[in-house]
Amino acid sequence: MLNGGQLDAAARSFMTGNNTNKCIAYFITDGRNPGFKLRDIPDSVDMVVLFGVKYYHYLDTLKYPAGTGMMSTYSSYAAYFADIRALQRRGVLVLQNVDDDKSWQQGTPDNYSSPEVWAAALRELLLGRLELNGISLDVEHSGAKPSPVPRFPGYDSTGYYGWYSASMAANASYLACVKALTRYFGPRAGLGAQLHIASGLDVYAWNPIVDNFRDDFDYFQLQTYSGWNTTRAQLAMNYAVQTNRIPAYKMVFGAYAEGGRDLNNATALARWVPTQGPKGGMMIYTYNSNVAYAEAVKRAVKQ
């Protein structure tokens, strides 16, 4: 990621290139399709998000050994990181997934003493020690709901049918966690590290995060999986651009390779150009679980 304080070649090339029609591949490390490794991701994928394995697994590899649980895909961490380096040398950026957690609402994210201490620890681990290219926040997990729950804007405005009630509110402490991350990750941090969100317009935290940090994220990924067509996606894009004031080129739409269904809609969504202009691209969850499906979506977004 950093080389003597300078951006590495992959990050420099990415930042100076076209920022639309990107292909973001989620790679699940739990042992699915074990013959397909990170090194098998094709060059036409722009970014890989490491999913399943948690950042804190890297801090205690005795407690979370390779070859088990969420690291079942690899028999050793050395082989895992060797494949990550191979991707980076080819110009593919590699990000770590980070889940939101109810501890964010208490201002003690993942049991760190403060958001600032936590964010600095992630910077040291992920950018410093492991030399990854950023993080993607998976914002959808459970915690205290907002009180009162705000009125949902409606399907015609958002493309969603209602709030995702399993999600949590973004209170002041939660937002402090996001703010702390923006010191090291995202376009305004100055370190060349990517900052994404993977979520939906229907989570309680979406609007507060965007209202406070829209300029601090490189991409906003929507989990538009089975059942999403371009008409529905256009409604979501309208809300993101007109209400949230997110540029169209930062909006990324999702395909659900893991489910293996609705490929026609997924490829149509990948080819689709919103009325506001080219979108940021497509994210594919999880690429290695169904490579044929993922490749079809990747080809469509890259046409």
> What is the rounded CA–CA span in Å between residue 155 and residue 150?
15
Give the residue from 84, 263, 97 showing the smallest Cα distance to 282: 263
Classify residue 156 by burial, with Cβ atoms within 10 Å: 0-12, 13-18, 19+: exposed
Answer yes or no: 258 catalytic. Answer: no
DSSP code string of 213-231: HGGG-SEEEE---TT--HH
Which of 124, 140, 258, 295 is labelled catalytic? 140
Sheet strands (E) in 93-249:
93-99, 134-138, 194-199, 219-222
Q: Is the peptide bond before 148 cis (omega within 30 degrees of 0)?
A: yes
CA dihedral 229, 249, 182, 150 (to 10 degrees): -40
The sign of the dihedral angle between the CA atoms of 284, 132, 93, 41 is negative
What is the Cα 302 distance to its own chain's centre? 19
- Which amino acids are annotated catalytic? 140
